[in-house]
Amino acid sequence: MSEHKTVVTNCRFCGYQCGLLAEVENGKVIKVRPDPKRFPYDERIQARCHRWRLAPEVMDHPHRVNHPLKRVGERGSGKWQRISWEQALDEIADKLRSLKETYGPENLATSIGGPHTTYWPLHRFMTLYGSPNNMGIGQICWNPGILVNSITYGWPIEMELDPALTECALLWGVNPAESDNSLFWHTIREFSRQGKPLIVVDPRRTATARLATLWLPVRPGTDPVLALGLLHVIIKKKLYNNSFVEQWCYGFDKLQNHVASYTPSYVEQVTGVAAEDVIKAACLFAENFPATLYSGRGIDQLGPNSVPTHRALAILRAVTGNVDVPGASYLTEMPDFSPEIDLELSEQFPAESRRKNIAGNRLLLQSYSGYEHLKSFTMKHNKRLPMRYLTSAHPNLIWRAMLEGKPYPVRSLIVMASNPLLTQADTNLVYRALKSLDLLVVLELFKTPTAMLADYILPVAGIMERPLLETNAGTANIAYGGDQAVEPYYERRPDYYFWRQIGIRLGQTKEWPWETYSEALQASLKPAGISWDDFCRTGLYMGPRQYFKYQETDPRSGQTVGFATASGKIELYSNFLEQINADALPVPKPLPEESSAYPLKLITGARFQPYYASSYRQLKDFRQKHPHPWAEMSPATAAKYGLKDGSRVWVETEKGKAGFVVRIIEMRDDVISVEYGWWYPELEAAEPILGGMWLSNANILTSAEFESSDPLIGTWTYNGINCRIAKEDTNNKHEEDNVVCCIMR
């Protein structure tokens, strides 16, 4: 007799984890629908998302990895043997033990991504194993904003857009119409209907920009100049919040002198944004209080210009008084539950292991010394940022250490919820590095191109097969998620199971007291006085919000709390940066010299629904909705090269070339925006094809050379790269041309 029930659960196609109701029959999810009683509390919001409906298909897709696999042929040959979890774990543990004895614990690196994962079990294992070499994409996603805002305000802030309170919204390098498509996008649409000023900074006139009252099509890479130009106008016209600046900001006089040369005419010359629009944007933002300012990956991926842009935007919020104000921003709190830094055990990481950080002291901020310096200020308010992710290794140095053995050999890599052949810069370098390893383990849902080169592929539990708890890495007092709908299908296991079992085999038994991931989550919520069952009923825990916290009186000292910085104020002029010999005020860095051989500018980070990064191109419904990778360009640029919508085109940089399909949109002339994360799972899952990863992979075009990265965080450049385009020979099939190119390499 069949068993049918409805289960409260969550989506996990992206980081929002929207509430769903799953129809479960005999242990299998057969249908899902939005749960209006849980986040985002409105079925209309989820109705616009293409992803969640396909959860049952993803859960039992014919291409899913369901059993542990061991390579039996040459690396990349596509020959696998099905083995047990016990055999896989024993062999991997033995190999890690042997490599550690030969090369030291730093021989092991890890690569992490999302969204079907949790970071802290990996970080906990790496702490106990003794390696500093966890890596991800933090340098170009999340870390720049978290670190810069912590330097400026003493702690990260959370942006707020409330149509009832917010009077102006400035969205910079973010397109939630495609990257979010959830509550935030819904809120922007509601805000735009009210007729309040909505300013969007983006080289492309995206769906978000089409709602704007003012669109600023900035030239890629010149964002800090534009931000400093807005500050110039606000200060010259005396539109800043004088009382807030006098009482709560440090270094205004120096800032005033610094921005004096960033006149609207100069800004127009550098950025391509009309001088009158620079003035208009500055006035709209400063004269409509409260105003909110969101930035996205478009800013995180500016290489050496990422930090100056984030700093200028942080200062822009400050001089207009839009810090810790309802409808503008919220200075977040440490969580009531266990913060990530405790779960990852990073404070136990010994000094000797920290000194093995692969960048040494060459990164001034994203390093253990930079972290400790910043912590000395945040602890004024008893706050501790997560450590492992904010000190993660620079990927370029890891790949080079695999190939060159400098500064020491990196001989093993564990990849979890990540596909570095598609998601890391310089695909050719990553490919050579992965091929050189003694041990490559991949925990995955599908056989990605990276998994195709592995020694072991381990099947991890994905959407609705594992509990979820998202906590903003412990930088805020908020947790959201919920329980799994069913037990994992086949032999899939939560990633926590892998890390605990490997840890136990390597002598870490006492540090893994929770047998299951659910038990670990229950323990992490316990300090907040909430049970796992109670949490799952709502799917949300959030402490009460209190604004203007800097005005409060510290009962211990009797002094005003202020901000956790050296001056106790918001640091327009940063004492912190001055102390580490960095620019105390934002200074735009020179862009790559113009090149006659590569006359166009390239943006490589565009995302489009329904995909998520390099995920889910196996789904027929998704491929029908979006079958080809796009190279977007303006009508004038397309006409210059004899292209039209649907033309096939080569995009080439000094690193390589890749093929895309032309999509003509309104955007800056002489700029090409290529879609990120493309491969072709229907093609052969072995060398030399590797799932078609050489065809339209944006990261074939990119580089992340450590020496040219930002010296504070290590951010590399994805936006503003010199490139050229050429129409593809239509006499040949696109895929066949590229595959031949792959074979010839």
Q: For the CA atoms of 59, 63, 69, 74, what is the dihedral angle to 10 degrees?
A: -160
Average pLDDT over residues 656-680: 97
* Tokens coding 301: 């991926």
Per-residue model confidence (pLDDT) at position 181: 65
* Tokens coding 438: 């003694």
Average pLDDT over residues 393-418: 97
User: Which positions ≥6 away from 570 have C-beta within 8 Å?
Assistant: 152, 153, 248, 249, 250, 318, 323, 563
Same fold, 69-138+340-481+489-509 and 157-331: no
Average confidence score pLDDT of the chain? 94
CA atoms within 13 A on the CB side of 589: 21
Residue with tokens 């949790």: 118
Average pLDDT over residues 502-510: 98
Per-residue model confidence (pLDDT) at position 609: 82
Per-residue model confidence (pLDDT) at position 732: 56
Burial class (CB in 10 A: 0-12, 13-18, 19+), 518: middle
CATH architecture of 4-59: Single Sheet (2.20)
Average pLDDT over residues 336-359: 95
| 600: pLDDT strictly greater than 60 | yes
* Tokens coding 494: 């939560």
Kindly report the CATH number that applies to the domain delimited by 600-744. Answer: 2.40.40.20
- pTM value? 0.96
Average pLDDT over residues 292-321: 96
| 49: pLDDT strictly greater than 90 | no
Per-residue model confidence (pLDDT) at position 16: 84
* DSSP classification of residue 538: H
Rg, the chain, Cα only = 25
Average pLDDT over residues 316-333: 98
Q: What proportion of the chain, given as a percentage, has pLDDT over 90? A: 87
Per-residue model confidence (pLDDT) at position 731: 62
| 737: pLDDT strictly greater than 80 | no
| 23: pLDDT strictly greater than 80 | yes
Kindly report the CATH number that applies to the domain delimited by 69-138+340-481+489-509. Answer: 3.40.50.740
| 443: pLDDT strictly greater than 90 | yes
157-331 falls under which CATH superfamily? Dimethylsulfoxide Reductase, domain 2 (3.40.228.10)
| Omega within 30 of 0 (cis) for the link into 68 | no
How many C-beta neighbours within 10 Å does residue 670 have? 15
Give the closest residue to 152 by CA, choosing from 393, 363, 276, 314: 314
| 627: pLDDT strictly greater than 50 | yes
Residue 114: pLDDT band with limits 50, 70, 90: confident
Per-residue model confidence (pLDDT) at position 11: 92
Give the separation between CA 179 and CA 606, rounded to whole angstroms. 9
Per-residue model confidence (pLDDT) at position 351: 94
Give the closest residue to 411 by CA, choosing from 96, 66, 649: 96
Q: 570-582, pLDDT tens digit by residue?
A: 999 999 999 999 9
Per-residue model confidence (pLDDT) at position 730: 63
Per-residue model confidence (pLDDT) at position 692: 97
Residue 296: pLDDT band with limits 50, 70, 90: confident
Long-range contacts of 739-744 (CB under 8 A, 24+ apart): 739/683, 739/688, 739/689, 739/692, 739/694, 739/695, 741/694, 742/688, 742/689, 742/694, 742/695, 743/688
| 744: pLDDT strictly greater than 50 | no
| 514: pLDDT strictly greater than 70 | yes
| 740: pLDDT strictly greater than 80 | no
Domain ranges of the chain: 4-59, 69-138+340-481+489-509, 157-331, 600-744
Give the separation between CA 488 and CA 296, rounded to whole angstroms. 34
Burial class (CB in 10 A: 0-12, 13-18, 19+), 741: middle
